[in-house]
Amino acid sequence: MTPDDLSGSLFGIAAAPWTEGMPLFLGLATPGSDHAFVVSRAPFRDAGGRTCLAGTGECDDQGSTMLVAQGLEPDDWHGAPVTNVGWFRVGVPRPPAG
């Protein structure tokens, strides 16, 4: 995952840039025999809310679940069970003044 994957995906924080590191949760979604990593602003139970792909800028609400893989159909993953794996902080730097 690169910063470009999060570009445009505000996860419900309209006042970007985020000056403090915002916690994001990493999970493993498992609908049937498939699996993919997912990222969200809240700990998981399932891939609820809006399910979107990394790099699309479509994870724009707090309940968004971002699939960290390409070539997947987000609707196929909505509601899939998710196992929490960990969390990390993401900060978006402010542009230079002037």
Q: What is the pLDDT of residues 13-64, one digit of tens each?
A: 666 556 567 788 899 988 888 888 988 888 877 777 678 887 777 777 777 8
CA 38 – CA 58 distance, rounded (Å): 14
pLDDT in tens, 62-95: 778 888 887 888 888 888 888 899 998 876 666 6
pTM above 0.75, yes or no: no
- Categorize the per-residue pLDDT at 98 as very low, low, confident or very high, splitting at 50, 70 and 90: low
pLDDT for 86: 93
- Closest to 80 in 3D by CA, of 34, 40, 42, 43: 34
Each domain of the chain, given as residue ranges in start order, spans 3-9+25-89
